[in-house]
Structure 1
Amino acid sequence: MRMIAVFTLAVAPIALGGCLATTAVGIVTAPVKIASQTADWATTSQDEADRKAGRKARKAEAREDRERRAAERRCRHDRDACDDGYRSGAY
């Protein structure tokens, strides 16, 4: 029994040393990781900007398509509502 206690006391610092070293590394690198993540959240990458621009273009195209189809329906029912393709600057 005494041998087990001596062995445990001899091995404990070695086993706990790894845990303490890992904890120390985690504490030291935490500010760098936090700053890096904050910078990532605060900035927009080129990929994100491209996706946003593409989404905006698709929405505009869909809106124009809906407006064109609505104008065609109006034109089918009422020839006076037809647009000959020219629009003045005043709306």
Structure 2
Amino acid sequence: MRLILLPLLAVTTLTTGGCVAKTAFDVVTLPVKAGSKAVDLATTSQSEADRNYGKKMRKAEEREGRERRDYEKKCRRDPDCGPYTGFVAHPEGGNRYR
């Protein structure tokens, strides 16, 4: 009986000891992980900012293209229309009218 109990006790100690240590480690590091996740959600990374800026500029350029096409169509009917004074997708990110 003792021969069976000793190896069983050794195996049990080795397997559960790691589980307890891992659980304790998880409990200790949980606030740090939660805090870093909150910071990630609250801030915008540079790649997200670049992606958002690119999307904004593509939309502005599409709008400018539509308005210029409409303006050119109008100028074909009325040659005295003058220079384009509509919406311009500004390269610095600020959209404006000329």
Length-normalised TM-score, structure 2? 0.73
- Which position in structure 1 is the counterpart of 2:91? none
Q: 2:83 aligns with which of 54, 64, 85?
A: 85
Task: Give the Cα–Cα distance (whole angstroms) in 2 for the partners of residues 86 and 12 of structure 1.
Answer: 82
Q: Which amino acid aligns with 1:58?
A: R
Give per-residue Cα distances to partners, 1:1-27, cap 9 Å, x unaligned.
x22233112321122101110111011
Question: Does 4-13 or 21-30 show the bigger shift?
Answer: 4-13
Give per-residue Cα distances to partners, 1:31-68, cap 9 Å, x unaligned.
10010011011011222212211211111011100111
Q: Percent identity?
A: 50
- Which position in structure 2 is the counterpart of 1:30? 30
Q: Show the 5 A alignment for 1:1-91.
A: 2=1, 3-76=3-76, 78-79=77-78, 83-85=81-83, 87=85
User: Which structure's residues are more often strand, by fraction?
Assistant: 2
Give, in angstroms, the shift of residue 86 of structure 1. Answer: 5.9
Task: Give the Cα–Cα distance (whole angstroms) in 1 for the partners of residues 38 and 81 of structure 2.
Answer: 52
Instruction: Report the number of matched residues.
Output: 84
Give, in angstroms, the shift of residue 74 of structure 1. Answer: 2.4
Q: Which amino acid aligns with 2:61?
A: E
Q: Structure 2: which 5+ runs fail to align?
A: 86-98
Q: Which has the higher contact order (CA 8 A, sep 6+)?
A: 2
Q: Structure 1: which 5+ runs fail to align?
A: none
User: Which stretches of structure 1, 4 residues or more, deviate above 6 A after TM superposition?
Assistant: none
